[in-house]
Every structure is written in structure tokens, then in C-alpha cells.
Amino acid sequence: MKIAAHIGVKDEIELIEPCIAHLRRIGVTSFIVCEMQSTDGTAEWVAAQRSETFRVLQSSNAEPGMDWLRRNEAAARTCGADWLVFADADEFILPEGGSLAEAL
């Protein structure tokens, strides 16, 4: 089972790395990070993580909602996941048995 996470971030440099590490520990294998013009180093950190399993979408609050939705939907569809978790960098999902796949 492939689990992806969609994470919205803005100025979350202190949280993004622990968040990603935690999600990996519980079974998330693919990431879509929607970066909202951070100014604290978050944008640079997520850009350095780019890979086939770590997508970064640059966005802003000025982007029309439907445009944002279409770009995020396209990214979600191409990640090939069975499940997609939506979270923020300050949310740490705690599945009862420690594995998100087992919880699903």
C-alpha cells in the first residue's frame, strides 16, 4: 500500500523536517508539499528535498483558488498513492499501532 502526504507549509522551518521524518516513520512514502512563500528558510529546505517522491508546489494566497486546486489535484493524481493524507507541518498523526498502513 502506497501512502502519500499533502502538506501545506508557510514559515515552518522548525517543524517541517520533524514532520516529514515522523510521516516516514509511520509509513508515508511520497510527499506533495505546497509551499506558500515562506521567508524563514522553509522554501529552501523543501526545494532541497525535491525528488521523484517529494514534490514541491510553489503557491501564494494570491493564487486563484481553482488554479491552486487544479495544480494540487494533478500532483495528487500523479503520485500513484492508494491513500492521500492532508496535513499541516504542525500536525503529527499518531496511528494507534504506530503504522498508518495498518490503521488504514
pTM here is 0.87
Tell me which H or E stretch contains 68: helix 65-78
Helix (H/G/I), strand (E/B), else coil: 11: coil
Question: What pLDDT was estimated at residue 19?
Answer: 96
The pLDDT tens digits for 54-80 are: 999 888 777 667 777 787 788 888 888
pLDDT at residue 51 greater than cutoff 90: yes
Per-residue pLDDT averaged across 17-28, rounded?
A: 96
Provide the pLDDT for residue 102: 87
Would the pLDDT of 14 be above 70?
Answer: yes
